[in-house]
Structure 1
């Protein structure tokens, strides 16, 4: 009986240590970027370096798991937005995504290039484009807005979040509001053609190759 209880405690401790390491990695990477050493992550998590390597054999494995966890949050947020009424889910998703990106800015460079999370990325994008269709149906977004426009919005906001690190955590919200205003029906006609799906795929391939 004692052995079984000890085993359960050990598993619980291991799970808690693992999550502490992921939380510490998110904090340290957000503040200092991905170049920081794993010894600093172990220190912030309050565990030994041996414990870190038992949970994550390489730094890359730690980053990949952190990215997976963040993308799971993106998918959960997207699914929640599907239940928003009157086509409001897209705006809910855009602002929610910005908040998630700002909270995890340390791993932005790996968000769309991690080989282990392709399924999660694809699911997130599928729901996002469904939200765009619903927003159009309810007259909240202009009819000529495209999937590629949403991609560019996210890449733009990602750039703002990355470059304002250490200065502000909320500056991206103003830019998001400006871009959403430009997506509203009744705005001026656009005299530039949208980016093609082929261009989007090419850019994604370049991002994933980094």
Structure 2
């Protein structure tokens, strides 16, 4: 017997799409304000939908968080793509400015952003690595800086945002200025080796 062809999944109805978008926007708001310990019931309340609607779109809280992480990674990749159009190797600095500002505005899901083996994470890393290579080619960034160094730079920005956002929400800007100044070419090499990607991934999965 010839196997039946798989039935293509039907696109979501307009109201289903609107409910999904409303839930993601509400989740962004709730998790930014209360952290990932916030309840999905609060997300549904802010979105103005019932729990049944939430669970039809996102069967578990992890599914909701994963959808937000996917959204943030998509935005991160777009920021890196936009920054790549900057001239003379300045794209990396532009990306760090854009991504840091985004972190400051949307801190809720950042703890889950990089600690997964996700195709979009790998794509984002490649885009950032390209920005780094271009900056080094133009002599704006020291040649021994690595992509794992940049991941830790972004983690340090997250820590500054988390610590200061209630009382000094722009404190991350000076911290980023200092970090970029430290990336400039200088005499000699750095005194300690960088983390390997494998070591960093092991650290992030425990974060």
TM-score for the superposition, normalised by structure 2: 0.87
Q: Which of 33, 36, 40 is residue 35 of structure 2 equivalent to?
A: 33
| Aligned length in residues | 197
Contact preservation (8 Å) 1:31, 1:165 = no
CA distance in 2, matches of 1:173, 1:137: 25
How far apart, CA to CA, are the structure 1 residues paired with 2:195 and 2:35? 32
TM-score (norm 1): 0.86
Flag the 1:104–1:120 CA change in 2: closer, same or farther, 3 A.
same
**Could you give the per-residue CA deviations for residues 66-109 of structure 1, whole angstroms, max 9, x where no partner exists?**
00000000011111111111101000111111122222211111
Q: Name the CA shift for 1:33/1:196 in 2 (closer, same or farther; >3 Å).
A: closer
**Comparing 155-164 and 187-196, the one that deviates more:** 187-196
Gaps (5+ residues) in structure 1? 1-7
* Structure 2 equivalent of residue 163 of structure 1: 163
> 2:199 pairs with 185, 188, 202, which one?
202
How far residue 145 of structure 1 moved from its aligned partner, in angstroms, is: 2.1
Match of 2:4 in 1: none
Residue 109 (structure 1) aligned to one of 108, 111, 119: 111
CA deviation profile, 1:97-155 (whole Å, cap 9, x unmatched) = 1122222211111111245xx11111111111111111111121122322232122112
Residues 5-35 of structure 1 show CA distances to partners (whole Å, capped at 9, x for unaligned) of xxx9x81111111111111111110111111
Does the 8 A contact of 1:56 with 1:62 survive in 2? yes
Higher helix share: 1
Does 2:150 correspond to 1:153?
no
SS at 2:13's partner residue? helix
Alignment partner of 2:109: what SS?
helix
How far did 1:194 drift? 3.0
